[in-house]
């Protein structure tokens, strides 16, 4: 069966510091991968999605970037965090069908 | 892009009562209509979905109904229980299999 991992689970970072969040999927090949952000008490905002290695589409212009160095690995990065980057970051995957499955999330607090 | 609205934003029901949450969308090309449940601090999890060629789908105490003409679909929960308390998101999907999440409905089931 397929599983999706995210790490770290929680992170506290100072403003201006770099960021790297990782997501990996097991048990499937060539998944579509997604990064979402959820601000406290709000809905989910799609940040990036990828249909294959090295293929990244950005939904919202911001100081974040994403990379997909391997088929089942998706990384979210920033060179300099802002206070507004705080939130719950969720990675998700699908196999080309409609249903997306979410990872456990990373709770990021920028101070 | 897709505009998605959910109503109500909060809903409080007594245990055993029914709950109905409505989702309206704008993209007439949407053809997949899922509902996700998110418990506090956890990842969203798919609870039920429906495709555009079906008007209603039921799974035990939950059901989803779709009105494609009016561009809305609804989540119905019968015989509510305390463990149904959570935030519920609709996420109609149009082209490119990208989910557009609604703003969420916080359901509170009281004893």
| Confidence band of A1 (pLDDT split at 50, 70, 90) | confident
Provide the 8-state DSSP code for A95.
Answer: S
Which residue of B32, B43, B51 is in closest CB contact with A103?
B43
CA distance B81 to chain A (A): 22
For residue B33 the two structure tokens come to 């209509």
Task: Work out the percent of chain A whose per-residue pLDDT is above 90.
Answer: 84
Residue A62 in contact with residue A19, Cβ under 8 Å? no
> CB neighbours of A30 closer than 8 A, spacing ≥ 6?
A52, A71
pLDDT tens-digit readout, A38-54? 988 888 999 999 999 99
Neighbours of A42 (CB within 10 A): 14
**Which of chain A's residues have a Cβ under 8 Å away from the Cβ of B25?**
none
Cβ atoms of A4 and A89 within 8 Å: the answer is no
The answer to which of A54-63, B72-81, B82-91 has the lowest mean pLDDT is A54-63
Q: Does B97 touch chain A (CB under 8 A)?
A: yes
Choose among B43, B91, B100: nearest Cβ to A104. Answer: B43
Q: Which pLDDT value is given to residue A62? A: 80
Task: Kindly indicate the confidence band of residue B97, based on its pLDDT and cuts at 50, 70 and 90.
Answer: low
- The Cα of B40 is separated from the nearest Cα of chain A by a number of Å equal to 10
- In a 3-state reduction of DSSP, which class is residue B6? strand
Distance between CA atoms of B107 and A6, rounded to whole angstroms?
A: 27
Q: pLDDT tens, B19-43?
A: 999 999 999 889 999 999 999 999 9
* CB pairs < 8 Å spanning A and B: 43
Which residue, B39, B76, B73, B43, is CA-closest to B61? B76
The pLDDT of residue B96 is above 70? no
What's the distance, Cα to Cα, between the start and end of chain A in Å? 38
The per-residue pLDDT of chain A, averaged, comes to 94
pLDDT, average across residues B37-66 = 94
Whether residue B66 is predicted with pLDDT greater than 70 in this model: the reply is yes
Q: How confident is the model at residue B70 (pLDDT cuts 50, 70, 90)?
A: very high
B window 49-68, beta carbon within 8 A of A: 49, 51
Q: Is B80 exposed, middle or buried (0-12, 13-18, 19+ CB in 10 A)?
A: buried
Please write down the HEC assignment for all residues of A23-72: EEEECCCCCEEEEEEECCCCCEEEEEEEEECCEEEECCCCCEEEEEEECC
pLDDT value for B87: 97
């Amino acid at each position: 069966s397929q599983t999706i991992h995210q790490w770290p689970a929680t992170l506290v970072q100072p403003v201006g510091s770099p960021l790297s969040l990782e997501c990996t999927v097991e048990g499937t090949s060539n998944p579509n991968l997604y990064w979402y952000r959820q601000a406290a008490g709000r809905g989910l905002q799609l940040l990036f999605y990828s249909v294959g290695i090295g293929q990244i589409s950005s939904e919202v212009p911001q100081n974040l970037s994403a990379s997909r160095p391997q088929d089942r690995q998706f990384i979210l990065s920033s060179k300099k965090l802002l206070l507004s980057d705080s939130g719950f970051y969720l990675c998700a995957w699908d196999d080309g069908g409609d249903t997306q499955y979410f990872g456990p999330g990373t709770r990021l607090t920028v101070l | 892009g897709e505009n998605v609205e959910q109503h109500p934003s909060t809903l409080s029901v007594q245990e055993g009562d029914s709950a109905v949450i409505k989702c309206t969308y704008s993209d007439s090309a949407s053809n997949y209509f899922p509902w996700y449940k998110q418990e506090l601090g956890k990842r969203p999890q798919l609870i039920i979905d429906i495709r555009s060629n079906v008007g209603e789908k039921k799974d035990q105490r939950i059901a989803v109904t779709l009105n494609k003409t009016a561009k809305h679909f609804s989540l119905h929960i019968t015989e509510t229980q305390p463990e149904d308390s959570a935030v519920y998101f609709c996420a109609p999907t149009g082209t490119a299999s990208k989910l557009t999440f609604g703003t969420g409905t916080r359901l509170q089931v009281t004893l």
